[in-house]
Amino acid sequence: MRVACPRCGGRISRNLSPNPSEFPLFRGLMWDMVFSAFAAPECYRCGKIPMVEFSQSARLKLRLASAAVIGIAVALAIGLWKLMR
């Protein structure tokens, strides 16, 4: 599910994790997923793009992607929690 930049049509990234090296691997991964789901999209050329600049369908796609990421993160957490009991 790729959403193009509304300004230049370039690639959008949401990989804005603060400092993954500060976290142990698993927690870092979870934090990364959740954080990038909520972070503002960022264009490689234009920098951060506010959500309002995206078209309605693009915003819907971004929200769906966020929901999917959070769903996967929760499923992973529950799976690991059950494994460790």
- Contact flags string 8-47 toward Zn ion, x per CB under 5 A: x-x--------------------------------x-xx-
Cβ burial, residue 85 (10 Å; 0-12/13-18/19+): exposed
Taking the C-alpha atoms of residue 34 and residue 69, their distance in angstroms, rounded to an integer, is 7
Based on CB atoms, which residue is closest to Zn ion, 37 or 49? 49
Chain positions 42 to 61 lying near Zn ion, rule: CB under 5 A, are: 43, 45-46
**How many other C-beta atoms can be found within 10 angstroms of the C-beta atom of residue 53?**
14
Answer whether 62's CB lies under 8 Å from 3's CB: yes
Q: How far is the CB of 65 from Zn ion (least distance, A)?
A: 18
Q: How far is the CB of 14 from Zn ion (least distance, A)?
A: 14
Site residues, Zn ion (CB under 5 A): 5, 7-8, 10, 43, 45-46
